[in-house]
Amino acid sequence: MTSRAVIFGCSGPVLTREERAFFRDVRPWGFILFARNVETPDQVRRLTASLRDAIGRPEAPILIDQEGGRVQRMRPPHWRRYPPGRAYGQIAGNDPLLAREVARLGARLIAHDLAGVGINVDCVPLLDVPDPSGHEIIGDRAYGQSPEEVIRLGRAAAEGLIAGGVLPVVKHMPGHGRARADTHLELPVVEAPLEALERRDFAPFKALSDMPLGMTAHVIYAALDAARPGTTSKTVIREAIRGAIGFDGLLMTDDLSMKALSGDFATRAKSALAAGVDVVLHCNGEMAEMAAVANGVRELTGRSARRAKAALARLPRAPEPLDLAEARARFEAAFDGRFAA
């Protein structure tokens, strides 16, 4: 039985009877967890097993946003605190090779945490290049101030995740760094010319276009489409993401419940899929909203199904060997103990 082109959240730390029945009937491709779903390692393991059992697919992707810094759903005391992306580029000595090594190591440790509780996708790396006029929603989540820094450290993070048995999601395509508003609250418009976007904003995504999963930005790029945000714009997806960037992995939306998008939830889902995304993402676990989204999604077939299968095939049969105590000690030493467990 085929899945449908949607990823859903759930309401709490335990799957409710209503959610179980809904997911069984709707057959989403995957799920996403947030802080409201996370209490202890044993509890998260039970929840991820319950989600997969509900749809009868033991390989189903389960996502989380575990960047570090402000965006970290699994936190102390059960999991260590990780630094934001910017911190890797500011490691003492300003050594780019050391920064790359530590960024990979941090992601490898995050992958160990996630895989241990049944999570196999992390919405990392964030490849947005910040602009001085951009909104602080990106801020220190970015790996650096230049495309070159973002490429170097973003690639390292993606490699570290894959080595640990977790798939990376590059975000927010084709670039959120110039946006002057928080897309959780409103729709930003980027007025930069296409040449500037290609040179700076698209560059990290182009350099990591081989990654298996990508996420769109709810941002209008006036040089490409002055009417529709990237998530629902055929032009942005065709000419920027699939074209100039060359990304042919599975493309998902950012959260459909964000206020940057307009219209009812079925329309949001239909518009995104019609524009060329492969899978829509709805995060808040609100049943009425999920039911509406389900009315707007289709079966995951054709090219989208092939991309989904190819993405999951990137998971290694076994994680790269890791001396956990040594890795943690090396990671803590790189930050002078500021991110000790």
Per-domain boundaries in the chain: 4-316
Closest CA to 251 of 230, 226, 222: 230
Of 42, 95, 184, 336, the catalytic one is 184
pLDDT at 92: 64
Backbone φ and ψ of 28, nearest 5°: -65, 155
Return the minimum-mean-pLDDT range out of 84-93, 110-119, 208-217, 318-327. Answer: 84-93
pTM exceeds cut of 0.85 = yes
Which tokens sit at 115? 């895989």
Per DSSP, the three-state class of 215 is: strand
Q: CA 308, CA 313: separation in Å to the nearest integer?
A: 9
For residue 323, what are the contacts with CB-CB under 8 A and spacing of at least 6?
Answer: none
Confirm or reject CATH 3.40.50.150 for domain 4-316, answering yes or no: no
Confidence grade of residue 276 (pLDDT, cut at 50, 70, 90): very high
Helix (H) or strand (E) holding 50: helix 41-55
pLDDT at 104: 98
Which tokens sit at 44? 């998260």
Of 113, 122, 128, 254, the catalytic one is 254
161-209 pLDDT per residue, tens: 999 999 999 999 999 999 988 889 899 999 999 999 999 999 999 999 9
Mean pLDDT confidence for 212-225: 98
91-137 pLDDT per residue, tens: 866 788 899 999 999 999 999 999 999 999 999 999 999 998 888 88
pLDDT at 289: 98
15-39 pLDDT per residue, tens: 999 999 999 999 999 999 999 999 9
Backbone φ and ψ of 62, nearest 5°: -125, 120
Q: Which residue has the tokens 């927010």?
A: 172
Is 135 a residue of the active site? Answer: no
Summary mean pLDDT of the chain: 96
Confidence grade of residue 84 (pLDDT, cut at 50, 70, 90): very high
Give residue 23's identity as a one-letter amino acid code.
F
- Bond before 125 cis per omega within 30 degrees: yes
% the chain with pLDDT above 90: 91
Mean pLDDT confidence for 212-230: 97
Is 254 a residue of the active site? Answer: yes
The end-to-end CA distance of the chain, in Å, is 43
